[in-house]
Amino acid sequence: MLIQPAPKLLKIKKTVTVVLMLFSLIFATSGLAKDLPDIGDTAGRILTPEDERRIGAQFYRQLQQSVNIIDDPEANQYLRALGLSLVSNSDDPFQPFLFFIVDNPTINAFAAPGGYIGIHSGLIFAAKNEGELASVLAHEIAHITQRHIARAIEARSKAAPLNTAALLAAILLGASGNGQAATAAVAAATAGSVQSAINFTRTNEKEADRTGITILARSNIDPSSMPDFFGRLERASRINKSALPEFLRTHPVTQSRIADSRSRADQHKGGGRKDTESFQRIKSRLRVLLADDKQNILRQFESKAKKKGATSSTRYGYALALTERERFDEARRVLNKLLIELPDDSHYISALAKVELADNNSAKAVKLLSDNFELSPHNHAATMHYAEALLQAKRPNDARRLLQTHLRRGNSQSALTYKYLSEALGKTSATMEAHEALAEYYLLTGNRKGAIEQLEIASAIAERNDGLADQRIDARLKQLRPKDKKN
């Protein structure tokens, strides 16, 4: 399942097959095997799981420099929790995954090697319920667990070994940074084999549907959500052919494929859940956060929130929109009413704390978030909001301890954690450590050069003051520097 981002966000040359599209994305990868794998061997020998992880990690770093990946703690926590719950019910529950949201209005999703799965914000808005979003995630998870990329290479090697060798050579050229040579090589490698690649991709799509439906059923999510969503997109495209969703361009959906997924879903008795309030809240949250016209989004939520029987997610979105327009008293009233209904709801508490922070009441915000954190000390979003409030309240030592504990608990994949930690360390005069934390933030946001520069600054400080720290930083630099620049 592959991405076709909006041109203004990611300028990747269009290709004639989905397989080519993938390789156009991974030309910039580094760290693949030094020698070309044996051609015609099994999928695991042509492209090992370790190769896929390396490709995926570099792909993600490159992607971060080209598109806007949403760094909202609550939205990210929701998506990752949903995604990992699906993975736990897949055929490969121990495969590592990273789920993230791309700020892109098109309806699309994609899977990259190594378990990197991106969802466009437009797809979240298009999904009517959590089941529909979960069906896309399950489909993408299936592409990873079924190892469709390696299998595609294996299939091509059986049909045309020399072409496959050229294709893999192109990948390695890309790994060395020679993008133009890689583009030329892949064009030559794939000439004359377009139809076989398309057919294999369609097979992958059907298999991902079937595997995804099993994952949904095991996760107690209504499997009919998949044919419901795909069918709705397909019907809309037939009505308005000029507005074909990007998802249908990169994931061709036919009537027979929808019928097959419907038949598979019907085999699972007992249904499962269709929706959750959490999904609807996150959907409202993203609408407010990503809106270009804050006044217009406020009018939309206000109109819905004031109708009789307005949902809690609509009122929550209304409160967020009021906060964006600095109408703090009104936002407080809406959120306090919601908290009467659900006193311990972390979404509402965090939203009210944001009102207090924006209205320069940092002490109130800290108290709200401290109590919330005590209820959920392992909650990533609660931790990030609490750290932000502590920093604004000029309590950097408390923020530092909070964030370091969070990292010790294994939450090392959040760029925002390192960003706040760097700020906290800088305000406690731990300058060297602040540069180290900022380096990790840059690395997680795809800026390897910036990470190296920050570590070099930290190393210069350590040379004067701390020999052990200098050794630690130098070891990290050796990991990040290009091989020809390592000491």
pLDDT in tens, 279-334: 999 999 999 999 999 999 999 999 999 999 999 999 999 999 999 999 999 999 99
Buried b (16+ CB within 10 A) or exposed e, 361-387: bbebbbebbbebbeeeeebbbbbbbbb
Beta partners for residue 118, in sequence order: 100, 110
Which of the pair, 196 or 342, is modelled with greater confidence? 342
pLDDT at 128 over 50: yes
pLDDT at 143 over 60: yes
Catalytic residues: 140, 209
438-to-348, 431, 453 alpha-carbon distances in Å: 30, 11, 10
pLDDT at 397 over 60: yes
Tens digit of pLDDT for each residue in 144-162?
A: 998 877 776 666 666 655 4
pLDDT at 77 over 60: yes
**pLDDT classification of 483: cutoffs 50, 70, 90:** low
Q: Note the pLDDT of residue 36.
A: 33
Rg (CA), the chain: 24
Q: Percent of the chain scored above 70 by pLDDT? A: 77
Give me the mean pLDDT over the 406-430 stretch. Answer: 93
Please provide residue 6's backbone torsions phi and psi, each rounded to the nearest 5 degrees: -65, 140
**pLDDT classification of 411: cutoffs 50, 70, 90:** confident
CA atoms within 13 A on the CB side of 382: 19
Lowest mean pLDDT segment, chosen from 277-281, 326-330, 428-432, 443-447: 443-447
pLDDT at 163 over 90: no
pLDDT at 429 over 80: yes
Number of H helices, E strands in the chain: 25, 3
pLDDT at 341 over 50: yes
414-to-42, 71, 88, 380, 402 alpha-carbon distances in Å: 36, 9, 21, 9, 14
Give CA–CA dist 358/361, Å, rounded: 7
Which amino acid does the sequence have at 354? K
Give CA–CA dist 126/106, Å, rounded: 9
pLDDT at 92 over 70: yes
Pairing assessment for the beta strands 116-120 and 98-102 based on DSSP bridges: parallel
CA-wise closest residue to 304 among 291, 295, 313: 313
Mean pLDDT, all residues of the chain? 82
Quick one: which H or E segment has residue 100? Answer: strand 98-102
Lowest mean pLDDT segment, chosen from 22-31, 194-203, 254-263, 347-356: 22-31
Give CA–CA dist 325/54, Å, rounded: 43
Q: Note the pLDDT of residue 29.
A: 32
Which of the pair, 236 or 24, is modelled with greater confidence? 236
Listing DSSP states for 446-483 in one string gives T-HHHHHHHHHHHHHHHHHH-HHHHHHHHHHHHHHS-G
CA-wise closest residue to 253 among 136, 355, 340, 130: 136
Give CA–CA dist 306/301, Å, rounded: 8
Beta partners for residue 102, in sequence order: 69, 120
Q: Note the pLDDT of residue 166.
A: 53
Q: pTM higher than 0.85, yes or no?
A: no
Give the length of the chain.
Answer: 487
Give CA–CA dist 59/116, Å, rounded: 9
Give me the mean pLDDT over the 89-96 stretch. Answer: 93
